[in-house]
Chain A
Amino acid sequence: MENESRYYRINPVVSCGIEKDGAVLFNPDTDDTSIINDSGHLIWDFLQHPHTVEEICSYLRENYENLSTEQAYKDVTQFVNALLPDFLEEVGDHEG
């Protein structure tokens, strides 16, 4: 599967402002903003350290009981692709 062996982590330049139902990401270099929901915020915190899509899926499924592997993979892939490259960055194996 695409992205399976790649590692992703948060872009260190991005700020994360927590709100009631999620968070606001702000990249001050590009002046871009992205709003993420509660599950997105969970992934964001997880990506303080680099992880693959598979690892993110496993983590999500630990926190959301009824989430299927297939749905988790779909949601995580969509999340990662939406936030690349301004808010997430792709890194080498176990970098950082």
Chain B
Amino acid sequence: MKDDLPWFDPVLPPDGLQSRPREVDVSLTGRCNLKCAYCFYADEMAGLSDLSTERWKACFCELGELAVQRVTLSGGEVFTRPDLFELVDCLIDNKMRYSLLTNGTLITEKTIAQFETGKRRQRLDSIQVSIDGSCAGVHDKSRPPKSFDRAVNGLELLKKYGFPVIVRVTINHYNVHDLENIARFLLDELGLSGFGTNEAEYMGSARCHGQGVVLSEKERRRAMNDLVVLNRRYDGRISAQAGPLARLNMFKEIEERLQKGETGIPGRGTLCSCGGVFSKMAILHDGTMVPCNMLPTLTMGIVGINSIQQAWLHHPSINVVRQRRRIPLTALESCRDCPYTGFCAGGCPAGVMNRFGRLHGIDPLYCYRAFKATSDDENEFERQFTETL
């Protein structure tokens, strides 16, 4: 029996959608001074060229006319762009706030000083620095040599000058055994209030390395166990939007509700995990608009050539992601007989797209039934997971 999918018009925006995105993720450049083993953006960096200063400025003016509120600037590595602060000033002139995602290695006293001009500090929401180990011996396994020392130096400078800094740890094969040390380093030694976690996705550079950097299911479960212990020890200062801890939190919630005799969670039971596309979109470094920078093949047009607002409202590439939430899990052949569909939201659409080349499906990493069935046998989960590819 095949999937039984509802039909909808992909040009029509869903009822109640805001007339413009509230936030936009901008990959400002495809250049980077590092070459990390799990870079999800590596394919785009290799294949696409940066927009010029003038075209970015025109784009930010268009976002300003739409009253977009916030922009997150990433790359590549944002600090490789010599015009970064000129572009930040353009965002400020167009009434927006901004955040930066960075590897931290290019942050110096001179960089810090540049933030003191105008409203650059005032409009800055956060700077996220990536740290993947408690020491160079671990961090530099997934990143080039000497990147740990430079990243920590950048992080310490930001902290010293009172910047709103956050740290993201991407859990991968090389650092999964180091989580306790990472927590001690970041929270005790550096004194951060917390840090976020996710895991290396099987995209970009990670594909080139095969399964070398991506976590195995056994490693994921180790990470889940370690993170729950650490989070208890550190009073909830470790967070996750995705990855082992997010997965664990989700499964824990399901188990607690099952114990209470509940059969579902209100609002679930369909492919509704992604709410981002109702308030946010992304622009790649060559100006291509996409629903999310994790969905780079779902192109919506090019800034400066196509209207951002029209793309936001009417492009099928973003509306198909929005309309996923109209697909009940019971319409999918793989989920039809699952007793847990009422609790499930299907997982990240990028995870589904990445693994299966389509959007109507679930990310098996977020399947509670599969997790429960294979709890005692990680190899069985690995086998089932591989069979679904």
Asked if A65 is at the interface (CB within 8 A of a chain B CB), the reply is no
The interface stretch among B39-47, B63-71, B176-184, B281-289 is B63-71
- Complex Cα spacing A20 to B18, Å: 8
Interface stretch of the complex, out of A26-34, A41-49, A71-79, A82-90: A26-34
Taking a contact as CB atoms closer than 8 A, the residue among B19, B20, B97 that contacts A28 in the complex is B97
| A19 and B19 contact, CB distance less than 8 A | yes
Give the contacting residue for A17; candidates B20, B97, B119; CB below 8 A.
B20
Given the interface pairs A28-B95, A28-B96, A31-B97, the reply to whether A17 lies near B123 with Cβ below 8 Å is no
Q: Among residues 1 to 31 in chain A, which have CB atoms less than 8 Å away from a CB atom of chain B?
A: 13-20, 24, 26, 28-29, 31
- Do the beta carbons of A29 and B119 come within 8 Å of each other? yes
Interface of B is mostly: loop
Determine the distance from Cα of A26 to Cα of B69 in the docked complex, in whole angstroms. Answer: 7
Measured between beta carbons, the chain B residues less than 8 angstroms from A33 are 69
User: Are the CB atoms of A15 and B19 closer together than 8 Å?
Assistant: no
Other-chain residue from A13, A17, A29, A31 in contact with B19 (beta carbon distance below 8 A): A17
Contacts of B125 in A (CB 8 A): 31
How many chain A residues touch the partner (CB < 8 A)? 14
A17 and B67 contacting across the interface, CB-CB below 8 Å: yes
Which among B20, B66, B67, B125 has the highest number of chain A CB atoms within 10 Å? B67
In the bound complex, residues from chain B placing their C-beta under 8 Å from that of A28 are 69, 92, 95-97, 123
**Once the chains bind, are A15 and B69 in contact (CB under 8 Å)?**
yes
Once bound together, how far apart are the Cα atoms of A26 and B97, in whole Å? Answer: 10
Bound-state CA distance A18–B67 (Å) is 8
A73 to B: closest C-beta gap in Å: 30
In Å, the complex CA distance between A15 and B95 comes to 6
Residues of B participating in the A interface, judged by any CB pair closer than 8 Å = 18-20, 64, 66-69, 92, 95-97, 119, 122-123, 125
Q: Could you show 8 A-B contacts with beta carbons less than 8 Å apart? A: A15-B64, A15-B67, A17-B18, A17-B68, A17-B69, A26-B95, A28-B92, A31-B125
